[in-house]
Amino acid sequence: MSESTAVTIDWAGLAPLVIVFAAAFVGLLAEATVPKSRRLPVQVALAVAALAAAFVAVVLNADKSGTVFALDGVAIGSVVIDGPGLFLQGTIAILSIVAVLLLAERRTVRGGDFVAEAAVVADSAADLEQRREDGATEIFPLTLFAVTGMMMFVTSGDLLTMFVALEMLSLPLYLLCGLAKRRRLISQEAALKYFLLGAFASAFYVYGMAMLYGFAGTVDLAGINAAGVGSGQPRMFLYIGVAMIAVALLFKAAAVPFHMWTPDVYTGAPTPVTALMAACVKVAAFGGLLRVFNVGLSSSAWDWHLILTVIAVATMIGGAIFAVTQRNIKRLLAYSSIANAGYLLIGVIALGDAVGQTMFYLAAYGFTVIAAFAVVSLVRDGDEEATHLARWAGLGKKSPGTAVVFTILMLALAGLPFTSGFTAKFSLFAAALQADELGLVIVGVVSSAILAFPYLRVVVLLWLNEPAPDAPTVNLPSPMAGTVVAAGVAATLILGVAPGFLLDIVDQASTFLNT
Amino acid sequence: MDEISYAPAEGLLSFTWALIALPALGAAVLLLAGRRADKWGHWIGVTTIGAAFALALGLFASLAGLENKSADLDLFTILSVGGLDIEASLLFDPLSAVFCLLITGVGFLIHVYAVGYMSHDPGRRKFFAYFNLFAAAMLVLVLGGNYFMTFVGWEGVGLASYLLIAFWQLKPAAATAGKKAFLTNRVADVGFLLAMFLMLGTVGTLDFAGVFNAVEQGNSNGAAGLSEGTSLALGLLLLAAACGKSGQWPFQTWLPDAMEGPTPVSALIHAATMVTAGVYLIARSNVIFSLNPDVQTAVVVVGALTLLLGSIVGCAKDDIKRVLAWSTVSQIGYMFLAVGLGGAAFALGIIHLLAHGFFKAGLFLGSGSVMHAMNDQTDIRRFGGLWRTMPLTYATFAAGWLAIIGLFPFSGYFTKDPIIAAAFAREGWQGWVVGGAALLGAALTAFYMTRLFVLTFHGPKRWTEDVHPHESPAIMTGPLVLLGIGSLAAGGLMASPVTEWLTPVFGEQHEAHGHLSHMQVTVATTVAVVLGAALAWLLFRGGTDEVPRAAAWPVRAARADLGGEAVNRGLFERPSRLAASASVAMDGRVVDGAVNGLSAAVGGSSRRLLALQTGFVRSYALSILSGAVIVVAALMVVVTQ
C-alpha cells in the first residue's frame, strides 16, 4: 500500500491558512530580531499584510469546491474548500484586520494596553516594572496563531482537524486574556477561568469525538452523517457523541447554560482582545456549528432538534434578561453577545435554509460589536476605561461625535431599520420561517424586544442625562482606533441601507460540500 | 361633448412659471436675508408681486390671442411610479387667468397698503415674506395643471394663512385662531386627499383632462368611464375640501376668528384670494359637478345655508372686522350657490368673486384705516361720526358699501342680482326656496352693512377718551381709492366680457328662465335691499348703546354665531376631550401597568438569575456539566419516545 501512496495537495486552497500561519512564525522571529523600537510597526504591518493576503487568497478561491488533500486521487476531507468555509474565512480575515488595528492602538494607553508576561504576580514589583514599559508586541503573532485556528476551524471536514483547530484558536486567546495592563488581577482571573472552562469543554469534545468514532468508525463529518442512516452500532454512541460535541461547541459560542464564562472573560480581558473574541471567535464558533450540524449531523436532525431548540430559547431569553440589569458596558455587551448567540442558533437549527443568512448575521454583528468595543476602549477615566454605565451619562453633551457613533451602534444591536442589525435579524428570521421555525422566531423577536431596553437605556443615558462633573474623557481616537470605529460604523450603515451585495454573496456561498 | 385637451404653451406663455417664481423668490430672499433686509425688505415684496401682476397682464393678452384659449406647461416629473407619472405642470386658461389677475392685482394693492399699515411693526420683513409666500402658493393653486399641483398650492395656502393669522403669535387669541384655521382646513383637506386617491384608483391619473374625460365618458356610456357613484363621491369629496378652504358651512367657524391677523392679511386672505380657492376648485372641476345633479344640489344647499347664516350672524356682531368676515362667509355662499346652480351661473359665480375681491378688499383695508385711526379698536359701538375726520376712508368705504349691497348701478347689482335670478330659475319648489333664501340674504346684507357703515361713520361720536382720529397716510389711502373705484365699477364693466371670456372653460350656456323674469327679480331685490338699508338707517342713525344690551333669543343666537361654536364644542371638542382623558387613563393604568409590570418582572428575574453568576469557576463548570447532562438526557428522551 505504501509504495503507491501519492498525496496531492491543493496549495491554492490551503493558501489562506498557510499565509497566516507562516506570518505568525515570521512574527515570532521578528520578536527576536527586530529592535524593540521598531517592532510595533513591523508586527502590525506584517499582521495586516498577512491577513489581507489571506483574504485575497480566499477571494481567488471563490469558485472552488473540494478538498485540499487527496490520497491517490481519493479526496480526504480534513480541510474542505466550499462556499460557507470560504465566506467565513474571508469574514474572519477582514474582522481580524480590524481587530489587529485595535490591538495596535497606542494612544489611549501610553505604550499600549498589554504587558509582556501574563503570569507575573499581579501588583508585584516585577509587575509594576513591566507595566511601565511599552506594551508587548507578542500579541500580534499570538493573534495570528488564533486566527489560523479560526480559519481552520471553519474549513475542517473531520472532527480531528476541527479539534486541532479548536485548540489552536483557544490557547493563544487564553494567554491574550491575561495580558491587560490595567486591572491585572481581573485580567489574570479572566484568563484562568477561560482556560479552565475551555479545557473542561475540550474534554467534552474529545469524549464526544470518541463516541462518534465508535458509532461511525470514522471522524469524517460526511462519514458520520452517512452512518447516522445506516450504521449497525448502538445509536447510544451517536446520541452521547452529539451531545458532547454540541456542549463543547456551544461553550465556544456562549450559549446558555454554557455561557457563564463570557461576562467575566469579556470584562477581564483587554478590550481589544474582547473585541477579537466577540467578533472573530463568534464567527469561527458558529462556522464550526454550522458545518458539524449541516454536514455531520443532518441525518440525525430529528434527534437533536428539540434539545437545540430548548438551548436556543434559553440563550435568547436568558441573554436578554441578564442584560437588562447590567450596569457595566462590557458586561452588557457580553450578555448581548450571548443573546445574539441564541439568534444565530436559530440559523443552525434551520439547517440548509438559513446557512447564508446566518453567515450574513455573523459578518454584520462582527463589525458592529468590534466598533462598540473600540468605542468602549476610548471612553476613559484617566488611565482606566470607564466601564460603569453611570459614568457615560451625558456623554452626548461632552463628546457628541463619540455619542452619535455609539448611538448608531446601540441602535444596530437593537435591530432598528437602516442599520445592519435590522437587515441581519430580518433575513435570518425570514429564513427561519421558511424552515418552519415559527416558534423560535417568535421567541427571537420577544428577546430582541427585551434586549432593546438596555441598548436604548444607554442611548437615553448618553443624550438625556446631565454629565457628571468629573465625567470621563474621550480620547481623541488615534488613526488606529479611529479607523476601527469608522470601519465598523460604515459597515453597520452600509449593510443596513444596501445589504443586497452581501446577501447575494452569502446566497451563492451557502452550500456545504458534502464530501 | 368633445374630448377635453389643453394646448402646449408657447411664446410668452411658456414663462407662466415665472408668475409663481417671482413672489416665491421674494419670500425666499426676505426669509434668508434676515435682519439685513429689515429696512428695505418690504419693497422686495411689493416689487415681486407688482412684477407678477405685469406678467399676468402680459400672459392674459397672449392668451386672448390664442385660438384654443389654453396653455399647458409641463415643468418636470415629480413622481414616476409604475404607470403613474405626476408632472409639475401648469395650466393657463381663461379661468386661471382671471384668478391670476385678481391675486396679483388686488394682492399688489394690498401689499402697497401693508407697507404703510405695518410700518411700525418690528416683524414687517417676516410679514412680507409670508405675504409673498401666500401669493406664490395661491398662484400654484390656480395655475396647477393637475389636481396634485392644485393640492400643493392648496396646502401652501393653508400653511401661509396659518403663519399670517398667527402672525402676532405672542397674542394667545391670534395663536389660537391660526391653529383653528389650520386644523379646520386640514380636516377639510382630507376630502381633497381622498378625492385624489379615488381619482388615482379609478382613473389612474390626476390630470384635469384625464379625470374630466373619464367623468364625461362615464356619463355618456357608463361602461368605459367612471361609474355614477364614483363621480358622485368625487364631487362630494371635492365639495368638502372647497367648504373648508372657503369657510362654508359646516367649516365656517375658522374664518371670523382669522380676523386676529393683521388687517391686510384679512384683506388678502379672507376677502380676495384664499377663500375663493373653494370656488375655484368647484369651477375648475365644473365637469364633475355639472354631470352630477345630486352634488350640485349639495353645493346649492351649502351655498344657500351659508349665505343666510353669514348674513344673520353679521347683523349681530359689533367688531368691524368680524362683521366683514361674516359678510365674506355670506358672499362666498352666493358664489357657491352660483357654481352649484351650474350652467350659465358658473360664470356668474366667478364674476361675483372678482367683484367681491375688489369691494371686500377695499372694505377690509378701509376698516384697517379706521382701526389705525382709533388706536386699533374694532368695536363699532365706540366709533361714530368719522366721516368728517377721515374723508377718503369714508368715501372709499361708502363705495364698498354700495357695491356689496348691490344698488344700481354699482358692482353688486350686476353680479349678485343675476345669481338671485338664477336661483329662482331652478326647477320646482327648490327654485322658490333657494331664490327666497338668496333674496332674504340680500336684504340682510343691506341691513348689516348699512348698520356697520352708519355706526362707523355717521351718528354721534361714541369714542373712548384717548382716541384722536386722523386720516391715514397716502400709501394706505392710495390703494383704498383704487379699490374704491374698482368696487363701484368692476361689476358693471366685467359682467358680460368675463362671461364671454370664460366660455372656453364652462362651455356655451344659455340663461335659464324660471319662476320669475329677470325684471321681477331685479325689482324684488332692489326693494329688499332698500328696505334692509332703510331699516338699518332708521335704527342706527342716532347711534347705539356703547355696550351690548341683553336681547331677545334671535339676537343672542346670532351673537353666538348661530351655534357654530357650540356645535364644535359639543360635537368635536367634548368627545375629543373625553377620548383623550379616557386614553390617558387607559395609557396610565392598563398600558403603563402592563409595561411597568412586565419590566418589573423582567428586571426582577434578571436580578434573581444573575445570582447564579457567582464568579466561581467551580459553579460555572457545574453549570456546564449540568447542561451536558440535560442535553444527553433530552436526547435520550426524544429517542426513546
Q: How confident is the model at residue B234 (pLDDT cuts 50, 70, 90)?
A: confident
Chain A (433-462) residues lying within 8 Å, Cβ to Cβ, of chain B: 450, 453
Can you tell me the distance from the alpha carbon of B163 to that of B152, in angstroms, rounded to the nearest whole number?
A: 17
Among residues B155, B163, B123, which one has the least CA distance to residue B138? B155
Q: What is the pLDDT of residue B31?
A: 85
| Omega before A257 within 30 of 0, i.e. cis | yes
Can you tell me the distance from the alpha carbon of B194 to that of B279, in angstroms, rounded to the nearest whole number?
A: 19
Distance of CA A507 to the CA centre of its chain: 21
Which of A251, A261, A321 minimises the CB distance to B602? Answer: A321
Q: What is the pLDDT of residue A370?
A: 95
Q: What is the pLDDT of residue A264?
A: 93
The DSSP code for B71 is E
Q: Which residue of A has its CA nearest to B628?
A: A247
Q: What is the pLDDT of residue B515?
A: 67
CB contact under 8 A, B615 and A264: yes
Can you tell me the distance from the alpha carbon of A369 to that of A424, in angstroms, rounded to the nearest whole number?
A: 14
| pLDDT over 50 (residue A1) | no
Q: What is the pLDDT of residue A286?
A: 95
Angle in degrees, CA A128, A129, A132, rounded to 5:
90
Question: Number of C-alpha atoms within 13 angstroms, CB side, residue B408?
Answer: 8
pLDDT, average across residues A138-160: 94
Q: What is the pLDDT of residue A343?
A: 95
| pLDDT over 60 (residue B416) | yes
Q: At CB < 8 Å, which residues of chain B contact A?
A: 599, 602-603, 605-607, 609-610, 612-613, 615, 617, 619-621, 623-624, 626-628, 630-632, 634-636, 638-639
B383, three cell numbers: 366709533
Q: What percent of chain A has pLDDT over 70?
A: 98
Helix (H, G, I), strand (E, B) or coil at B98: helix
The DSSP code for A474 is E
Q: How confident is the model at residue A404 (pLDDT cuts 50, 70, 90)?
A: very high
Q: How confident is the model at residue A243 (pLDDT cuts 50, 70, 90)?
A: very high
State phi, psi for B224 to the nearest 5 degrees. Answer: -75, -35
B632: chain A residues, CB-CB within 8 Å? 239-240, 243-244
| pLDDT over 50 (residue B1) | no
| pLDDT over 60 (residue A2) | no
Task: Give the residue carrying C-alpha cell 484568563.
Answer: A191
| pLDDT over 80 (residue B25) | yes
Can you tell me the distance from the alpha carbon of B164 to that of B129, in angstroms, rounded to the nearest whole number?
A: 10
Q: What secondary structure, in 3-state letters, does B352-404 show?
A: HHHHHHHHHHHHHHHHHHHHHHCCCCCEHHHCCCCCCCCHHHHHHHHHHHHHH
Instruction: Give yes or no for a contact between A115 and A191, defined as CB atoms under 8 angstroms apart.
Output: no
pLDDT, average across residues B275-294: 85
| Omega before B409 within 30 of 0, i.e. cis | yes
pLDDT, average across residues A351-356: 88
Which of B606, B613, B615 minimises the CB distance to A324? Answer: B606
pLDDT, average across residues B58-67: 83
Q: What is the pLDDT of residue A101?
A: 92
Q: Which residues of A298-317 are buried (b: 16+ CB within 10 A; e: fewer)?
A: bebeebbeebbbebbbbbbb
Nearest Cα of chain A lies from the Cα of B618 at a distance, in angstroms, of: 9
Can you tell me the distance from the alpha carbon of B218 to that of B220, in angstroms, rounded to the nearest whole number?
A: 6
Q: What is the pLDDT of residue B610?
A: 83
Instruction: Give yes or no for a contact between A319 and A257, defined as CB atoms under 8 angstroms apart.
Output: no
B617: chain A residues, CB-CB within 8 Å? 192-193, 196-197
pLDDT, average across residues B256-271: 83
Can you tell me the distance from the alpha carbon of A512 to that of A84, in angstroms, rounded to the nearest whole number?
A: 6
Q: How confident is the model at residue B212 (pLDDT cuts 50, 70, 90)?
A: confident
Mean pLDDT of chain A: 90
ipTM score of complex: 0.90
Q: For A49-80, what is each residue's pLDDT tens digit?
A: 999 999 999 999 988 888 888 888 788 888 99
Q: What percent of chain B has pLDDT over 70?
A: 97
- Range picked from A40-44, B285-289, B555-559, B603-607 for highest mean pLDDT: A40-44
The more confident residue out of B160 and B510 is: B160
Helix (H, G, I), strand (E, B) or coil at A71: strand
Q: What is the pLDDT of residue B75?
A: 79
Stretch among A340-349, B3-12, B147-156, B414-423 having the lowest mean pLDDT: B3-12
Q: What are the residue boundaries of the structural domains of chain B, listed by start?
A: 318-551, 560-610, 615-641
Nearest Cα of chain A lies from the Cα of B635 at a distance, in angstroms, of: 6
Which of B610, B612, B639 minimises the CB distance to A239? Answer: B639
Q: What is the pLDDT of residue A70?
A: 87
Q: Which residue of A has its CA nearest to B627?
A: A257
B640: chain A residues, CB-CB within 8 Å? none
Stretch among A315-329, A467-481, B259-273 having the lowest mean pLDDT: A467-481
A418 near B CB under 8 A: no
| Omega before B250 within 30 of 0, i.e. cis | yes
Nearest Cα of chain A lies from the Cα of B562 at a distance, in angstroms, of: 50
Among residues B129, B364, B355, which one has the least CA distance to residue B267? B364
Can you tell me the distance from the alpha carbon of A221 to that of A233, in angstroms, rounded to the nearest whole number?
A: 17
DSSP letters of B271-327? Answer: IISTTHHHHHHHHHTHHHHHT-HHHHHHHHHHHHHHHHHHHHHHHH--BHHHHHHHH
CB contact under 8 A, A258 and B627: yes
CB contact under 8 A, B602 and A257: no
Nearest Cα of chain B lies from the Cα of A498 at a distance, in angstroms, of: 21
Q: What is the pLDDT of residue A246?
A: 93
Q: For B313-362, what is each residue's pLDDT tens digit?
A: 888 888 888 888 888 888 888 888 888 887 778 888 888 888 888 888 88
Q: For B46-62, what is each residue's pLDDT tens digit?
A: 999 999 999 988 888 88
CB contact under 8 A, B620 and A325: no
Helix (H, G, I), strand (E, B) or coil at B259: helix
Stretch among A103-107, A145-149, A505-509 having the lowest mean pLDDT: A103-107
Can you tell me the distance from the alpha carbon of B221 to that of B7, in angstroms, rounded to the nearest whole number?
A: 26
Which residues, 6+ apart, have CB-to-CB distance to B451 below 8 Å? B315, B536, B539, B540
B122, three cell numbers: 418690528
Can you tell me the distance from the alpha carbon of B401 to that of B417, in angstroms, rounded to the nearest whole number?
A: 16
Which of B627, B632, B638 minimises the CB distance to A257? Answer: B627
Kindly state the helix (H) or strand (E) to which residue A78 belongs, with its residue range: strand A74-81
Q: What is the pLDDT of residue A287?
A: 95
Instruction: Give yes or no for a contact between A27 and A136, defined as CB atoms under 8 angstroms apart.
Output: no
A328: chain B residues, CB-CB within 8 Å? none
Can you tell me the distance from the alpha carbon of B577 to that of B333, in angstroms, rounded to the nearest whole number?
A: 32
Can you tell me the distance from the alpha carbon of B56 to that of B139, in angstroms, rounded to the nearest whole number?
A: 11
- C-beta atoms surrounding A199 within 10 Å: 14
Q: Is B15 left (phi over 0), alpha (psi -120 to 50) or beta?
A: alpha
